[in-house]
Amino acid sequence: MTSDQLGLFATPGPTLPEGFRYRADVITPAEERALLERIPTLPLKEFEFHGFTGKRRTVSYGWRYEFGEERLHKANDIPEFLLGARDKAAAFAGLEPEALQHVLVTEYAEGAGIGWHRDKAVFGDVVGISLLSDCTFRLRRRAGEKWERVNLTAEPRSAYLLSGPSRTEWEHSIPGVDTLRYSITFRNLKER
C-alpha cells in the first residue's frame, strides 16, 4: 500500500491556527530527566495576578512581567541548565537562541491550569516545552457570535509555537491537569 493510500484511512488531526506549530519529542527523555532534576530546586512562587493567587507556581528569567505595573523588569539571567532547552526551542521555532530573552518556568500541581488569555503584547513569539505529563492545550478565537476552537494534547517533551495569527488573534488555555506537570515557556521581545 502506498503512502497516498494509507492517507485515505488516516484520521485527520485538528486544523491548527495559522502560525501555530506543534512537534512531539523536541527534547529527549534524558534531557527531560535532567531538567526535572533541577526545576524543582528553582525559587518557584505562587503566581499572582491582580491580587489573586493561582494554583500554579512560576519563576521568570531574563525578564519578568509585572502585571500590576503592566511592564517588564529585568530579571536574573537564564540559568545555564535551561540553555540547552532554549537552543532546542529556538531551532524548532526557526529563531536564534539569543532571540529568546525571556523564560518562564511553571509548575502545574494536580488540578492547576491557566485560563483563556493571550500573552502580553510586549512579547513576540512564544515557544513552550511540556514536561512530565501531558495536558490539553486549547485555542479559541471569536468567529462572529461563536468561538472557533481547536484542542490538542501537548505531550511530555513536545513543543508548541505561537506566532503570527495564532499569537495575536487566538487565545489559549490549559484546563486543570490530572497530574503534576511542568512547562518551560520561552519568549522573544517585540521591537520597541
149, 128, 127, 154: which is closest to 139 by C-alpha? 149
Give the pLDDT of residue 51: 58
Residue 55, domain member (yes or no)? yes
Residue 158, domain member (yes or no)? yes
Q: Does the pLDDT value for residue 1 go beyond 70? A: no
In one letter, which amino acid is 166? S
| Mean pLDDT of the region 27-38 | 98
Residue 5, domain member (yes or no)? no
Confidence band, pLDDT 50/70/90 cuts, at residue 80? very high
User: How high does pLDDT run on average in the chain?
Assistant: 89
| Mean pLDDT of the region 174-178 | 96
pLDDT tens digits, one per residue of 91-108: 999 999 999 999 999 999
Overall number of domains in the chain: 1
| Mean pLDDT of the region 176-188 | 97
Q: How far apart are CA 145 and CA 53, in angstroms?
A: 32
Residue 43, domain member (yes or no)? yes
Confidence band, pLDDT 50/70/90 cuts, at residue 46? confident
Task: Determine how many CB atoms are found less than 10 A away from the CB of residue 90.
Answer: 19
Cα angle 60-46-89, degrees, rounded to a multiple of 5: 35
Confidence band, pLDDT 50/70/90 cuts, at residue 174? very high
pLDDT tens digits, one per residue of 10-20: 555 668 999 99
Give the pLDDT of residue 160: 98
Q: Who has greater pLDDT, 51 or 108?
A: 108
Give the pLDDT of residue 40: 96
The dihedrals phi and psi of 77, each to the nearest 5 degrees, come to -60, 155
Residue 8, domain member (yes or no)? no
Query: Quick check: 172 and 119 in contact, CB under 8 A?
Result: no
Residue 143, domain member (yes or no)? yes
Q: Tell me the H-state helices in the chain.
A: 3-9, 29-38, 83-93, 164-168
Q: How far apart are CA 35 and CA 85, in angstroms?
A: 9
Query: Quick check: 40 and 101 in contact, CB under 8 A?
Result: no
CATH of the domain at 172: 2.60.120.590
Residue 3, domain member (yes or no)? no
Q: How far apart are CA 129 and CA 154, in angstroms?
A: 9
Query: What residues make up the domain containing 108?
Result: 15-189
Classify residue 4 as exposed, middle or buried by CB count within 10 Å of its CB (0-12, 13-18, 19+): exposed
Residue 157, domain member (yes or no)? yes
Give the pLDDT of residue 68: 63
Query: Quick check: 105 and 39 in contact, CB under 8 A?
Result: yes
